[in-house]
Amino acid sequence: LRVSEGAPADNFLGDMRCVPAEAAADLVNHLAHRGECLEAGHFISTGAASVPQLFGAGDVVHADFGVLGAIDLRF
């Protein structure tokens, strides 16, 4: 993640998860231990893999998802 040609955002390290599928699997396992489950139509938000960045009017936010592609958002 990069805002208006600034330095790339740092990734979360340590206990934070950077693999959304792992975070979703942990959620499903946690719910199963409580006797609950996800159902069709439920939404999972696994959070961010990088430190949040400030941006405002006139900024361009560039996100690169590797083999999935990249996107630029202009504000």
Give residue-wise pLDDT tens across range 22-46: 888 888 999 999 999 999 999 988 7
* Residue with tokens 């950077």, as numbered in its chain: 18
- The Cα–Cα gap between 9 and 20 comes to 18
Domain count, the chain: 1
| 14's tokens | 């340590």
pLDDT tens column, 3-23: 998 888 877 665 555 677 888
pLDDT for residue 67: 92
Cα dist. 43→13, 37, 52 in Å?
25, 12, 21
Query: Which residues make Cβ contacts (< 8 Å) with residue 47, sequence separation at least 6?
Result: 17, 20, 23
pLDDT for residue 65: 84
pLDDT tens column, 49-69: 777 889 999 999 999 888 999
- For residue 16, give its domain range: 2-74
